[in-house]
Amino acid sequence: MFSAILLNKNADGTTDAQVVQLEDVQLPSDGDVVVRIDYSTINYKDALAVTGKSPVVRKWPMVPGIDGAGEVLASSHADWKTGDQFILNGYGVGEAHMGCLAQRARLKGDWLIPRPLAISARTAMAIGTAGYTAMLCAMALEEQGVTKESGDILVTGASGGVGSIAIVILSAWGYRVVASTGKLSETGYLKSLGAAEVIDRNELSAPGKPLQKERWAGVVDSVGSHMLANAVAQTRCGGTVTACGLAQGMDFPSTVAPFILRGVKLIGIDSVMAPRAKRLAAWDHLARDIDMEKLSTITQGISLADVLLRAPDVIAGKIRGRLVVDVNA
């Protein structure tokens, strides 16, 4: 028997979420690696699943948790053996395949990557999909030729998981980062992570003109909707915008003007199905480049039971940084 959060769909369409005891026979059969989960985390998508605020779950019952780190217990996959340390991010786990907010999981070996020796399982989950996504954004800016001499980098949703770690990464790489937040009370916190300047999200969150004053050489956006549209409209000629979230909405109320008149590039960041080579590169960067002291300041540890209490706060934007779940607590 092992502990897990189990989601069931009620007759009225709402979601019932409970911490329960499961048996190995209840794990999905379509997996070739059985793992012990040491730590997981709550991402925005996990919070949507747990609260039922959005139809994230595609198969019932479901164990949520798109991230996990721990040890291989048994494997029929050629690349994995008992005792190997792994990280999992995405691949529809916690949506269509039972996930990692549990003490045990059965997964596909092709989904796992080796945990870098430089980071612990807990640290890997302090980074999680949020930090891994932030690194994919930073790598995309670099690949598109945005250098620290190019100009300011805007990070939206700055006090959230993606935003916080994006600030840590980009400032460490020498970029001048401008953080956009709805919590100006967090200005000191964001500057301690490396932001050179903090602006009110209201400057960007309302409908704006298709082309605006050029301000940003690059953007990391986890918000979407008008925030993303305004960020694009304010990006300099030849600049790059990376889009990885939808906290404000899935819509994109923009025009082609920034793309055809300024050559702005809009790069979509898909962390869920990113190819293995890109995942390995991102985690290699994270193991080498992340400031562990700063990471610790944005991380809170919680238990499995706490997930049910904190998930609504994640949806409401009340969480600063990252929540790491000790599934054995």
Average pLDDT of each block of 10 consecutive residues along the chain (329 residues)?
A: 96 95 93 97 94 92 97 97 97 95 97 96 96 97 97 95 95 97 93 97 95 98 97 98 93 97 97 94 95 92 96 89 94
* CATH classification (class only), 129-268: alpha beta
CATH superfamily label, 2-115+298-326: Medium-chain alcohol dehydrogenases, catalytic domain (3.90.180.10)
Q: What is the pLDDT of residue 123?
A: 97
* Tokens coding 316: 């409401």
Q: What is the pLDDT of residue 39?
A: 98
Question: Domain residue spans in the chain?
Answer: 2-115+298-326, 129-268
Q: What is the pLDDT of residue 54?
A: 85
Q: What is the pLDDT of residue 320?
A: 84
Q: What is the pLDDT of residue 247?
A: 85
Q: What is the pLDDT of residue 94?
A: 95
Q: What is the pLDDT of residue 319?
A: 86
